[in-house]
Amino acid sequence: MAEVRRDFGADVADYESLYRWSLAAPDAFWRALWSFGGIIAETQGTVVVRDVDKLPGATWFPEAKLNFAENLLRRRDRTPALVFRGENGATRTVSHGDLYDAVSRLALALLADGVAPGDRVVGFLPNIPEAAIAMLASLSIGAVWSSCSPDFGIRGVIDRFGQIAPKVLFVADGYFYNGKILDSLERVRGVAAELGGLTRLVVVPFVAERPSLAGLPAGTTRWDDYTTPFRAQPIAFRRLPFNHPIYILYSSGTTGVPKCIVHGAGGTLLQHLKEHLLHADVKPGDRLFYFTTCGWMMWNWLMSGLASEATLMLYDGSPFHPDGNVLFDFAAAERINVFGTSAKFIDACAKADLSPKDRYDLGALETVLSTGSPLRPEGFDWVYARVKPNVCLSSISGGTDLIACFAAGNPIGPVWRGEIQVRALGMKVEVFDEQGRPLVGEKGELVCTQAFPSMPVMFWNDPDGAKYRAAYFETYPNVWRHGDWVALTEHRGLIIYGRSDAVLNPGGVRIGTAEIYREVEQIDDVLEALVIGQDWDGDVRIVLFVKLRPGRPLDDALVTRIKKQIRDNATPRHVPAKILAVADIPRTISGKIVELAVRNVVHGRPVKNVDALANPEALEYFKNRPELTI
């Protein structure tokens, strides 16, 4: 970050002036970033952006041609590109050279199968090296990659892959989670039968050396059998336009069939280079880790670390098996420099009273990243007290919609407790009230008022763009409304108070759900919470559900304590009218709690897509609660 302040040639004495320049001179900023990131391309062209103030409608680098995979495979030496550890104790290291060769062989196999630019190739895979290889091989020839993690059910996979008609499907025979071996092939039999146009199914051995292919479609083959006939050779990377699709990601799908969000090569690459090199300070040879599955955009974000010449650290399995130290054991043993996880993981470690700094040598650790939900101030306290006192703790926020961050870290700036450090370079993030007026220091809608390169290319099966426009641009004309309830702070950082569609509105006062979680989850007996607004007596009343420590009842004393904690540290308006205990909290497969689904259950409305949930059975704890009828 300090280097680009010197080299970009602008008058940028500090981060805030660099940020303002990145917005005022988008042509100069994104061109300089292209150069700084060393993007490999057939041509950049002379035009950076046309119609930067049109949302949607801006066109980035219209003359450029590049290949995303070529930029990730720029090294071919023997240093590690991927280091994998599985819950079952399996370990593998793949060098840059071996990764290149594996991608070459698989790309040749795909070409032999008739895969062409624009065809969809998909993965139903754990976070293993073969997932990275399959993605890179697909993108090297111009195909479009999409993936789901193996914990999706049959309907969840079909709701996603069924919309995009893939030509090739990569699957693992199974996976390991929480001490169990879980089969994938039984679900694959159900999935493959409903994917019209599928011409090849490739099985990756993961839990067995040579898994049986019985009952799978004709033409199914194992990974080694598919790639062995081909010898590695220099890859003929297909260089395509800047916006050529590379990824299809999916909305959560908890309110209907998931939206298929298509992202382009150039915008994804530029954004990820910016976030890795500048906002996370990733340097060549750094060991970059994010705890993620192949069903979350952070997997795609992690993969791009290869373009910064980092070593990617892959973990597959439960982060709490056999206990919450497993990821820190990985970090210490492999000397991880950038450690990424979710706010919920940090909260859970704090609840479990873990102290990694007392157990491990984390001397290599420089940066801790957190996303997925707002990181509570107490989460900041735990990282600095129990992990390492001199890391850069960067809570970051963006989304699948932009495959990037609106708010990010700043390695040359201070970390303020409970705040995201900065608005990301090149992202004109503002906070609007209901009338579209900018706010500072007050809560409102997170919006972006200037185009950015990683806006979706399109939604799949949305020929006139109506679904795309409805998703982001209906509330404020020509402005991206993201759906987060936030405030800009006096330090020019951000605090996120929850999703704006889950904001509570008792008596007309808008309250972010994270404001309540921030207080409730400080109580030791509360492991997790979920809050909704229940329509009641012509208004809305706040209902709080709590998951408690095993054996701890929700008695009057604990209810009083919870209410006092909220009243004393938030406002009386935040105090729930009802507090109820539940055995579990429902969440999406990527780990986000589903307030809207619970709200529907409480109001007797259907939840449209329970297959998007990791634990749909948990919804039963919220149905027909007699306490909510009085």
Kindly state whether residue 158 falls inside one of the protein's structural domains: yes
Mean pLDDT score, 418-440: 96
With the C-alpha atoms ordered 351, 353, 359, 364, is the resulting torsion angle positive or negative? Answer: positive
Q: According to the model, what pLDDT value does residue 570 have?
A: 80
SS3 565: helix
Chain segment 222-245, per-residue pLDDT in tens: 999 999 999 999 999 999 999 999
Other CB atoms closer than 10 Å to residue 30's CB: what's the count?
24
Chain segment 250-271, per-residue pLDDT in tens: 987 666 688 999 999 999 999 9
How big is the CA angle at 527 (ends 526 and 530), to the nearest 5 degrees? 85
pLDDT > 70 in the chain, percent? 99
Cut 0.85: pTM above it: yes
Show the DSSP H helices in 528-575 as ranges: 556-569
DSSP letters, 165-208, are --SEEEEESEEEETTEEEE-HHHHHHHHTT-TT--EEEEEPSSS
The dihedral region occupied by 332, where left means phi > 0, alpha psi between -120 and 50, and beta the remainder, is alpha
Phi, psi of 208, rounded to the nearest 5 degrees: -130, 150
Chain segment 56-67, per-residue pLDDT in tens: 999 999 999 999
Q: How far apart are CA 95 and CA 156, in angstroms?
A: 34
Q: Which residue has the tokens 């990243």?
A: 369
Q: How many domains does the chain have?
A: 2
Mean pLDDT score, 433-460: 96
Chain segment 291-301, per-residue pLDDT in tens: 999 999 999 99
8 A C-beta contact, residue 314 and residue 420 = no
Chain segment 138-186, per-residue pLDDT in tens: 999 999 999 999 988 888 899 999 999 999 999 999 999 999 999 999 9
Kindly state whether residue 269 falls inside one of the protein's structural domains: yes
Other CB atoms closer than 10 Å to residue 163's CB: what's the count?
18
The CATH number covering residue 572 comes to 3.30.300.30
Chain segment 482-531, per-residue pLDDT in tens: 999 999 999 999 999 988 888 887 877 778 888 899 899 899 999 999 99
Kindly state whether residue 264 falls inside one of the protein's structural domains: yes
* Domain boundary residue, one of 282, 305, 328: 305
Q: Measured between alpha carbons, how far apart are the two ends of the chain, in Å?
A: 57
Q: According to the model, what pLDDT value does residue 415 have?
A: 97
Kindly state whether residue 161 falls inside one of the protein's structural domains: yes
pLDDT at 11 exceeding the cut of 70: no
Select the more confidently predicted residue: 2 or 48.
Answer: 48
Q: According to the model, what pLDDT value does residue 10 have?
A: 64
Instruction: Kindly list the strands in the beta sheet with 168-172, ordered across the sheet, starting from the edge strand earlier in the chain.
Output: 221-222, 200-204, 168-172, 120-124, 144-148, 245-250, 260-264, 458-459
Kindly state whether residue 536 falls inside one of the protein's structural domains: yes
pLDDT at 9 exceeding the cut of 70: no
Q: According to the model, what pLDDT value does residue 254 have?
A: 60
Token pair belonging to 587: 């969440």
Q: Which residue has the tokens 């060393």?
A: 38
* Domain boundary residue, one of 246, 272, 305: 305
Chain segment 25-58, per-residue pLDDT in tens: 999 999 999 999 999 999 999 999 999 989 999 9
Chain segment 585-603, per-residue pLDDT in tens: 999 887 889 999 999 999 9
* Domain boundary residue, one of 278, 305, 332: 305
Residue 14, C-beta contacts closer than 8 angstroms, at least 6 positions apart = none
Kindly state whether residue 325 falls inside one of the protein's structural domains: no
Mean pLDDT score, 370-393: 95
8 A C-beta contact, residue 195 and residue 165 = yes
Mean pLDDT score, 342-356: 94
When computed from its CA atoms, the radius of gyration of the chain, rounded to whole angstroms, is: 24
Residue 392, C-beta contacts closer than 8 angstroms, at least 6 positions apart = 281, 366, 367, 368, 409, 411, 415
Token pair belonging to 43: 């041509």
Chain segment 572-582, per-residue pLDDT in tens: 888 999 999 99
Kindly state whether residue 198 falls inside one of the protein's structural domains: yes
Kindly state whether residue 282 falls inside one of the protein's structural domains: yes
What range does the domain containing 166 cover? 67-305
The CATH number covering residue 243 comes to 3.40.50.12780
Mean pLDDT score, 346-370: 96
